[in-house]
Amino acid sequence: MIPIELVLGFAALLFCTGLYGMMTTNKALVALMCVELMLNSANINFIAFAAYNVFADATIGNIFVLMSIAIAAAEVAVGLALILNVYKIKGTSSTDDLTTMRW
């Protein structure tokens, strides 16, 4: 069996990738994709801990992941709709230009 450290390390790498992309990109779509990456790294952690758990029933972790994926789907739907609309109105989806709501 693969040691849990490897799985967790992979999840952490995935999270950091998403985070790095989030902090550096100016494209709204890329930012959304990075959010998905981070969310999925968290899902991997759930799965990992559920699979390696020897003391209790593993189903709870799996159910939680299913729930999380459903929410992520909904979130993406909303996020994409927003970006599309912004693009229609402003002609751009670059986050550097979308600053009208600040001070």
Where along the sequence are the contacts to another protein (CB under 8 A)? 19, 22-26, 28, 31, 95-96, 98-103
Rounded to a whole number of angstroms, the minimum distance from the CB of residue 57 to another protein is: 28
Least distance CB 95 / another protein (angstroms): 4
Contacts of residue 14, defined as CB under 8 A and 6 or more positions apart, other chains included, come to 37, 38, 40, 41, 44
For residue 26, the SS3 value is coil
What is the spatial distance between Cα 67 and Cα 84, in angstroms, rounded to a whole number? 26
In this complex, which beta carbon is closest to another protein, that of residue 51 or of residue 98? 98
Q: Which is nearer to another protein, 5 or 96 (CB)?
A: 96
Q: Write down the least CB distance from residue 78 to another protein, Å.
A: 15
| Tokens 């952490």 belong to residue | 12
